[in-house]
Amino acid sequence: MAAIEISGVRKVFRNATSGDELVSLEGIDLAVASNDFLCLLGPSGCGKSTLLNMIAGFETPSAGTVAVDGQAVSSPGADRGMVFQQPTLMPWLPVWENVAFHLRLKGASRRARREAAATYIDMVGLTGFADHYPAQLSGGMSQRVGIARALLMNPRVILMDEPFGALDEQTKMEMQTELVRIWEHHRGTIVFVTHGIDEALTLGTHIAVMSARPGRIKALLPVDLPRPRDVTSPRFNDYKRHLLSLLRGEEAGSLPASLAVPA
């Protein structure tokens, strides 16, 4: 059974003042298998966040269904972890309390929370920062806290909306390496929204390429590249060319022979 199943999803936003309707997503069918790392790639405004927010339960589809582990999504919940574009940490809580916030909601003792937090703080490479406050962290460190916070819930699915979008190139690359390491070690399904082709190719096992107005899924591309991925390799660049032509709207047709996945 697929971890996430989206079928026939359509999303229409109605402008409250003018009454105009905007079709944000149209005819979305997508199945994400367990332990897949799916990247949603597309231009700004094509509905990536909208689609992710539907899996999260923040938005409801105007038509069609979204199911996680066979259960229709009706509201946000701890079976799915979310890492936001902005770190959205509670500024009044130290790092460890932020990481263990889920346990606080479940009524766990201070000691249990501290212990659990320590494990995940180490995992994202923030050892020694447990007692810092969010205002004392850099952007990259804050995102690490956000990732640790999602991992601690041990969710079946982790949703990420351009989590590295606000980071500089160097930090972004470090965080990508780190994320792949964690995903390989931890397993689990990740849906990762990005508009960076390199980022999608560095991270994903699959890439869903989207187009705008209305948002549709143009192609679902399995990425068959060895890890750690080498952004300078010829095969990486073949993929990149293919994705670029898809994004530019050229009917790229079938996958070039060089990229065909061995059956």
Ligand X SMILES: Nc1ncnc2c1ncn2[C@@H]1O[C@H](COP(=O)(O)OP(=O)(O)OP(=O)(O)O)[C@@H](O)[C@H]1O
In 128-211, which ranges are continuous DSSP H helix?
139-152, 169-186, 197-203
Instruction: Name the strands in the sheet holding 157-161, side by side, starting at the edge strand that comes first in the sequence.
Output: 80-83, 157-161, 189-194, 37-41, 206-211, 216-222
Binding mask 175-214 for ligand X (x = CB under 6 A): --------------------x-------------------
Element holding 219 (H helix, E strand): strand 216-222
Q: Does position 74 bind another protein by CB under 8 A?
A: no
8, 65, 106, 256: which one contacts another protein (CB under 8 A)?
Answer: 106
Run of H or E including 120 = helix 110-123
According to DSSP, the residues that pair with 254 across neighbouring strands are none
CB 3 within 8 A of CB 69: yes
Nearer to another protein, 47 or 81 (CB): 81
Q: What are residue 206's DSSP bridge partners?
A: 38, 222
Q: Which is nearer to ligand X, 22 or 63 (CB)?
A: 22
Check residue 128 for interaction with ligand X (CB under 6 A). Answer: no
CA atoms of 124 and 96, how far apart (whole Å)? 12
| Site membership for another protein, residue 76 (CB under 8 A) | yes
Binding mask 24-63 for ligand X (x = CB under 6 A): x-----------------x-xxxxxxx-------------
- Contacts to another protein by CB under 8 A: 56, 58, 75-78, 80-82, 84, 86-93, 101-102, 104-106, 133-137, 139, 142, 149, 153
- Contacts to ligand X by CB under 6 A: 13, 22, 24, 42, 44-50, 195
